[in-house]
Amino acid sequence: MSVVSSVTVKVPATTANLGPGFDCIGAALTIYNQFQFNRLDEGLIIQVTGAEAERVQTDESNLLYQAFVKLYQYIDQPTPGVKIEIELGVPLARGLGSSATAIVGGLVAANRLAGEPLSQEQVMELAIAIEGHPDNVVPALLGGCRLAATSAKGWEICDVPWHSDVVPVVAIPDFELSTSEARRVLPTEYSRADAIFNTAHLGLLLRGLETGKREWLRAALQDKLHQPYRQALIPGYDAVNTAAVKAGAYGMVISGAGPTLLALANVSHAGAVEAAMSTAWQEAGITAVVRSLALDTHGAT
């Protein structure tokens, strides 16, 4: 492809872990960040619109720009001057992959402006290297629900079938939880029993998502590697979980590192689950935006 001077990249939010799939599974959701890149003769201009726009860095420390530079370094070309316009739709530091949208957006834009010297697989590997784990950046780039595993060659990415009746409902509170803080509370070692528990439940989750079978999904969303330790960092967790399940959800998990909570529900119960989660957090004195979403199947476009 010939070199272009302008490109707009739209990248979906993601939810990682889905309970037992800690650091290896994630799904793209229908909330988006959009990034427009215009080549300049020199320099850097970053403009940001949308909720929390004032909190985004507009200098060379911006993660989107750092990813943009990383690709040019990788292909051993000078980074061009660029004007970047960011339109925020994904909440910051809420467990919905905002950093993954920046990493993927920067890499995809740079690759297009450079004439697409890298394959999608190479872009994906760069994204994983920058993020440190695959669960958010892979679905942000590829769309859908994805399981990532290492192999002798690098990464094997598996598309996870997602039944059309399974609706993700996100409850996004008005407070933040940093990934580093959420990781600090985790133990450094786990028992064999806990490892076996999560292995079994991840297998059940994959089949539950594919079939939409209620009994499998209700059991599958349990986890012993990260959620028991992180729940205390999220005020109102127990109340929101109880309300979601009572309203008909298969279960509720922490989205990524949190504090966003994700319920999975049948399409016929999604509205009731949405209302119940909103009310439960409101009664706990916390303002939250609760939305029924869908699986994004396109990834970065």
Distance CA 235, CA 245 (A): 18
Q: Is 96 annotated as a binding residue?
A: yes
Q: In what order do the strands lie in the sheet with 251-254?
A: 251-254, 261-266, 166-173, 288-292
Q: Is 94 annotated as a binding residue?
A: yes
Distance CA 299, CA 33 (A): 11
Distance CA 166, CA 174 (A): 26
Q: Is 92 annotated as a binding residue?
A: yes
Q: Is 55 annotated as a binding residue?
A: no
Q: Is 2 annotated as a binding residue?
A: no
Q: Is 95 annotated as a binding residue?
A: yes
Distance CA 146, CA 135 (A): 8
Distance CA 219, CA 85 (A): 44
Is-cis flag, bond preceding 259, omega within 30? yes
Q: Is 114 annotated as a binding residue?
A: no
Q: Is 225 annotated as a binding residue?
A: no
Q: Is 134 annotated as a binding residue?
A: no
Residue spans of alpha helices (H) in the chain: 63-74, 98-113, 120-131, 137-142, 179-184, 192-211, 214-220, 227-230, 237-246, 270-283
Q: Is 93 annotated as a binding residue?
A: yes
- Per the annotation, binding residues are 91-101
- Per the annotation, binding residues for ATP are 91-101
